[in-house]
Amino acid sequence: MAWRRWSGLIVLLSSLLIFACNAAAQVGPGAIVRDIEIRGNRLTQESTIRFYLETEEGKAYVPRALSEDIKRLYALETFDDIRVTAEEVEGGMRLIITVTEKPTVRQVTYSGNRAIQEEEIDERIQLKERSTFDRGLLNDTITGLQNHYRESGYYFAHVRPEITPVADNQVDIELVITEGRRIRIRRIQFTGNTYFTDNQLRKEVQLREYFLPIVSDSASLYRPEVLRVDLQLLEQLYQNSGFVNVQLGEPVVEINREAGAIAVTVPIAREGEQYKVGTVTLTGSEVFNSEELRDLVRVTSGEIYSRETVRRDILTLTEAYADQGYAFADIVPTVSLDQQTRLVNLSFTTRPGPKVYIGRIDIIGNERTQDRVIRRELRFDEGELYSGSKLRRSRQRLNNLQYFEEVNIDTRGRAEDDLLDFEVQLRERATGQFSAGLGFSSVENVIFTASVVQSNLFGRGQTVSANAHIGGISQDFSLSFREPWLYGRPISLGASVFNRAEDFQTFDVNRTGASLSLGRVIGEFARISAAYRYEVLDISNLSASASELLQQSQGKSTTSSVTPSILRDSRDNVFNPSEGSVNSFEIQLAGLGGDNRYYRAIGNSTWYFALPAEMTGFVRGRFGFGDGFGDRVLPASERFFLGGVTTIRGFEFRDIGPEDEAGNSLGGTSFVQFNIEIGRSLGSVLRVVAFVDAGNVYDSDNDFDIGSLRRSAGLGIRIVTPIGPIRLDYGFKLDKKPGESAGRLGFLLGTF
């Protein structure tokens, strides 16, 4: 019985095989394709499928061509399956292509997220509604979300997809998120280190140990990619300290999932011996002699070898050659280790290459700013020798205009000529500004400000502004215009009208007037100018306790003055400087007509520095002196005052200097002021500073005495907020007198 069943099956299979062979012979290669039928497509247009077919009706069937057709259809990533069958028809064959389309995404949802905002998740979802479901995009979405959670400290976060088929060949996708606990670094330790302590090494790495919720930032979150960078930083520290053979082992990361803590151990497998610099030779130069080259190089025989110092010397030499026109100078260092003496012998080989000249200068991206406004800021011109320092300075000047959000200067060499074409690429920003708002200060309490400024009028680089400032003790209104390049020359012309009123404890001052200024650029950083001002001064509302000096100045008077000045500004960035200086001196002479006869001289010198640990700082010194002449005294409104958040912090506004018997500030005929400030930015919105201030005000009867300076020190923060910048400084008086407060908090909202 069993044998009969098997014999019947064998006969059936044999019959089918004979039929298939006969059919294949009839529709095989060479047969004419009479018809191509597309089946199974619902969303994909039939014309789209036929577009990718080389097999055509009326032509001979070619199996290889049909195989390539199927590959192209699969490459569309629209179909899960493609099947081809053939039928014999009169005069040839019919091909039937049956496709199974991938489902489309009806909706994508997610659940379980608490720590991460919905907007952040939406940005990382690559599958979109009504798009073809793609498993690869789903995997990329899951990987991206899990990586984002890891960067936020949720190291064990997991994303599980749930795919639910629905009607019309669609799917719903839900991303089920399990966040888990936030994991922070509790301990970073090192093994094998003898030259550097653990604390010294911890200061070099970017990862940080978790301390307190408010104090610890994202650096205490474990991220493997940051740990790799930290290994490079540690290696650089050792190599910059002479340990040229240092070797670091693979870090050991211990994760305590229950405690939500990570311990990182970095093994210093080998510190090695400390090397010093042996011989330093410089060869291959025809542009500079050996003494000139040696003056450019900082590395010195006998000092501890530092790879960073060598790198800086290479950069310095390259820039020196670039300033002589050798844009492609190559500085090749050769390092030779003497194992016995533990010396590093250095040799710098210079290959200047050909001199390079500036070819064409193209400016793109300036839709509003005129070409001439940009070109006058460039320190190089077509046909000149290439200069790296001029290129850097040109970029600084364009950035300092504040007309552009982005400034790039690209170079393109010409193989046939020793020429470099320059392309100045700019992205303009809005230069017209209207602002209005409320501010606060410890001097004036509530301040209302409003201004309309256009700093690039008609794209010509001209500035026009209207300003209003209304505070607790002052009101200031002004309208001004400035042309920085008069008739295409580096001559500036400015004009303004103003009305300023100040309400002090014992008197009121009102100034109304106009001014006209003319200046010229001298060299790269300096400017000389002269300004003429005419104003009507009104001192009124004197209290009974007003000083005799104020009583003598009561009433209206006119002032006609001229103020020559000189300014040198070499800051790398006028808004956030880290190097350079600002030095100025001016003398105001009043007496060219008008009622008042006096002179005032004011000098200022501020120097900016880049400091270690990403800190910056400045040192400022100011002084001034003045007096009346022609039987006149220096008006009370023109005397010098110090004290307050903008001069000597920790003291009341105008609190430093001579006083009358009632304790009212009289001001002085001279002053001196010093400020030292060091700070570090923490992100883009917060800056922390420490400062020391000193200064005093003197009248004509007192000589300057360095021992009489009033001094303060303190801390401050700068915060950039949507409603304006906030400045907070608390200064402690270092020479507190009986009856005085220990210090004072100064704050400003709306300006730095």
Which tens digits make up the pLDDT trace of 255-267?
887 777 889 999 9
Per the CB < 8 A criterion, the answer to whether 100 and 84 are in contact is: no
> What value does the mean pLDDT take over residues 177-201?
89
pLDDT at residue 505, as a whole number: 67
CA dihedral 178, 182, 183, 187 (to 10 degrees): -170
pLDDT of 22 strictly over 60: no
pLDDT at residue 722, as a whole number: 58
CATH of 276-351, one of 3.50.50.60, 3.10.20.310, 3.40.50.450, 3.40.50.2300: 3.10.20.310
Closest CA to 460 of 535, 369, 330, 564: 369
With cut-offs at 50, 70 and 90, classify the pLDDT of residue 518.
very high
- Please report which helix (H) or strand (E) contains residue 253, including its range: strand 252-256
Please indicate whether residue 497 or residue 637 has the higher confidence score (pLDDT).
Answer: 497
Please tell me the pTM assigned to this model: 0.62
Please indicate whether residue 175 or residue 721 has the higher confidence score (pLDDT).
Answer: 175
Quick one: tokens of 90?
Answer: 């009169």
pLDDT of 474 strictly over 80: no
pLDDT of 215 strictly over 60: no
With cut-offs at 50, 70 and 90, classify the pLDDT of residue 718.
confident
pLDDT of 176 strictly over 90: yes
Q: What is the mean pLDDT of the chain?
A: 85
25-39, 406-420, 629-643: the lowest-pLDDT one: 25-39
Per the CB < 8 A criterion, the answer to whether 252 and 267 are in contact is: yes
Q: How far apart are CA 245 and CA 275, in angstroms?
A: 9
Other CB atoms within a 10 A radius of the CB of residue 513 amount to 18
pLDDT tens digits, one per residue of 283-301: 877 788 878 888 888 899 9
Q: How far apart are CA 600 and CA 638, in angstroms?
A: 8
pLDDT of 221 strictly over 90: no
With cut-offs at 50, 70 and 90, classify the pLDDT of residue 438.
low
Distances (CA, A) of 304 to 24, 201, 246, 278, 503: 84, 19, 15, 10, 63
Per the CB < 8 A criterion, the answer to whether 335 and 346 are in contact is: yes
pLDDT at residue 495, as a whole number: 96
Please indicate whether residue 239 or residue 130 has the higher confidence score (pLDDT).
Answer: 239
pLDDT of 469 strictly over 90: no
pLDDT at residue 78, as a whole number: 85
pLDDT of 121 strictly over 70: yes
pLDDT at residue 446, as a whole number: 63
Distances (CA, A) of 274 to 195, 304, 539: 10, 8, 73
Greatest C-alpha distance within the chain: 144
Q: Boundaries of CATH 3.10.20.310 in the chain?
A: 26-101, 106-178, 184-267, 276-351, 357-428
pLDDT at residue 412, as a whole number: 84
pLDDT of 681 strictly over 60: yes
pLDDT at residue 436, as a whole number: 58
pLDDT at residue 644, as a whole number: 85
pLDDT of 236 strictly over 80: yes
pLDDT at residue 219, as a whole number: 66
With cut-offs at 50, 70 and 90, classify the pLDDT of residue 243.
very high
Other CB atoms within a 10 A radius of the CB of residue 486 amount to 13
pLDDT of 696 strictly over 90: yes
Q: Can you say how many angstroms the Cα of residue 515 is from the centroid of all Cα atoms in its chain? A: 38
Q: How far apart are CA 504 and CA 641, in angstroms?
A: 13
Q: How far apart are CA 695 and CA 623, in angstroms?
A: 9
CATH of 26-101, one of 2.170.190.11, 3.40.50.720, 3.90.550.10, 3.10.20.310: 3.10.20.310
pLDDT at residue 653, as a whole number: 79
Please indicate whether residue 191 or residue 225 has the higher confidence score (pLDDT).
Answer: 191
pLDDT at residue 676, as a whole number: 97
pLDDT of 3 strictly over 50: no
Please indicate whether residue 612 or residue 25 has the higher confidence score (pLDDT).
Answer: 612
Ramachandran quadrant class, 106 (left: phi over 0; alpha: psi -120 to 50; beta: rest) = alpha
pLDDT at residue 18, as a whole number: 34
Per the CB < 8 A criterion, the answer to whether 420 and 359 are in contact is: yes
> What value does the mean pLDDT take over residues 523-544?
88
Please indicate whether residue 458 or residue 285 has the higher confidence score (pLDDT).
Answer: 458
Strand 276-283 to 343-351 pairing: parallel
pLDDT of 733 strictly over 90: yes
Contacts 24+ apart (CB under 8 A), 541-549: 541/503, 541/507, 541/508, 542/506, 542/507, 543/505, 543/506, 543/507, 545/506, 545/662, 545/664, 546/506, 546/507, 546/664, 547/506, 547/636, 547/660, 547/662, 547/664, 547/666, 548/660, 549/633, 549/636, 549/666
pLDDT at residue 520, as a whole number: 94
Quick one: tokens of 205?
Answer: 């790495």
Contacts of 530 (CB under 8 A, 6+ apart): 517, 518, 519, 562, 563, 564, 565
Per the CB < 8 A criterion, the answer to whether 182 and 154 are in contact is: yes
Classify domain 106-178 by CATH architecture.
Roll (3.10)
Quick one: tokens of 327?
Answer: 């844009």
Fold (topology level) of 357-428: Ubiquitin-like (UB roll) (3.10.20)
pLDDT at residue 351, as a whole number: 87
Q: How far apart are CA 320 and CA 634, in angstroms?
A: 53
pLDDT at residue 658, as a whole number: 85
With cut-offs at 50, 70 and 90, classify the pLDDT of residue 444.
low
> What value does the mean pLDDT take over residues 300-311?
93
pLDDT at residue 131, as a whole number: 83
Please indicate whether residue 646 or residue 618 has the higher confidence score (pLDDT).
Answer: 618
With cut-offs at 50, 70 and 90, classify the pLDDT of residue 26.
very low
Share of the chain above pLDDT 90, in %: 36
Q: How far apart are CA 358 and CA 283, in angstroms?
A: 28
With cut-offs at 50, 70 and 90, classify the pLDDT of residue 416.
low
With cut-offs at 50, 70 and 90, classify the pLDDT of residue 5.
very low
With cut-offs at 50, 70 and 90, classify the pLDDT of residue 180.
confident
Distances (CA, A) of 548 to 138, 140, 543, 545, 669: 84, 81, 11, 9, 16
47-61, 97-111, 429-443: the lowest-pLDDT one: 429-443
Share of the chain above pLDDT 70, in %: 89
CATH code of the domain occupying 184-267? 3.10.20.310
Quick one: tokens of 715?
Answer: 């801390």
